[in-house]
Amino acid sequence: MYDLLILGAGPAGLTAGIYGARGGLKTVIVERKSFGGQASITPEIENFPGIANIDGFTLTFNMQEQAKALGVTFVYDEVESVVLEGAEKSVTTKNNGEIKAKTLIIACGAESTKLGVDNEIDLIGKGVSYCATCDGRFFKNKPVAVVGGGNTAVEDALYLSNFASEVYLIHRRDSLRASKILQDKLFSSNVKILWNSIVEKLEGNPLEKIVVKNTKTAECASIDANCLFVAIGQTPASAQFLDKLKSENGYILADENMQTNIAGVYVAGDIRKTPLRQIITACADGAIAADSALKYLM
């Protein structure tokens, strides 16, 4: 029986592990893939305070080593089912059986929705990004494009217009889903909107050009762009918990202590309903969640 069971070894889960173990809790982290989460595939991170530039693999490797040195147990396995209610929380894993604990932190993160064009995955970090806040600065005075039509896409385009030489917004329809206030800002900015358009092809490695197809005329045109920011949504890894935990659009709801609607069950990081999804905010959530678990057990 552990004191603290954490699901997910991304920045939120790893930080929760560090705080839990330092607080004297017998802690286990169950991760279904490998450590580091989304952050581990990020080639350059320039917004983690105190470290001017680091690759995500090294940053999260260091977090994992720190957690291990403090005595956190790591189990790499698929979680098949979870029991959240009651004094004893547990998960059943594919190869390691049942793991029980007195408290549980869900830090399973989220995944950006992929566009599905050829080369998209190969070009991540070389001209395809899912995070303008993270990668926008690398394209100062360079042409970039954003694909999408919701609030995130418009916010990204406006943000990028502060430093990119040219910003295109590629949208498959003839109107945007974004809020009116954002649309007003967009229409008075220098962002070029390509209506009724989809991304047909990505050219160059690193990216140099995007071939865009007009959905009405079927005509293709090539635009110069060194990065395509994909802003067509995110999917939180919350499916296993939604029948028990309160959520909004798949994101789990918690109070400022990361407490969910079930006693002893906490949530941290990108899987949570939160205004900003970054490494620093995931780490902060993980620290608060572990501290809450500690206080719950006192």
Q: Which residues are catalytic?
A: 131, 134-135
- 42 makes contact with ligand FAD (CB under 6 A): yes
Residue 296 C-beta: closest distance to ligand FAD, Å: 21
**292 in helix, strand or coil?**
helix
Residue 37 C-beta: closest distance to ligand FAD, Å: 2
Question: How does 116-141 read in b/e, with b if 16+ C-beta sit within 10 Å?
Answer: ebebbeebbbebbbbbbebbbebbee
Query: Which amino acid is present at 139?
Result: F
Contact of 26 with 4, CB cutoff 8 Å = yes
Based on CB atoms, which residue is closest to ligand FAD, 63 or 193? Answer: 63
Residue 56 C-beta: closest distance to ligand FAD, Å: 7
- 62 makes contact with ligand FAD (CB under 6 A): no
Among 3, 17, 28, 38, binds ligand FAD (CB under 6 A): 38
Residue 271 C-beta: closest distance to ligand FAD, Å: 6
Among 1, 24, 33, 58, binds ligand FAD (CB under 6 A): 33
Interface mask toward ligand FAD for 6-25; x: CB under 6 A: -xxxxxxx------------
Find the DSSP H helices in the chain. Answer: 11-22, 56-69, 132-135, 151-160, 180-187, 279-297
Question: How does 72-85 read in b/e, with b if 16+ C-beta sit within 10 Å?
Answer: bbbbebebeebebe
Per CB under 6 A, the segment of 162-170, 185-193, 247-255, 271-279 that binds ligand FAD is: 271-279
Cα 63 to Cα 50: distance, rounded to the nearest angstrom: 15
- 94 makes contact with ligand FAD (CB under 6 A): no
Per CB under 6 A, the segment of 20-28, 105-113, 152-160, 218-226 that binds ligand FAD is: 105-113
Contact of 17 with 8, CB cutoff 8 Å = no
Cα 81 to Cα 101: distance, rounded to the nearest angstrom: 14
Element (H, E) at 190: none
- 253 makes contact with ligand FAD (CB under 6 A): no
Per CB under 6 A, the segment of 95-103, 122-130, 151-159, 245-253 that binds ligand FAD is: 122-130
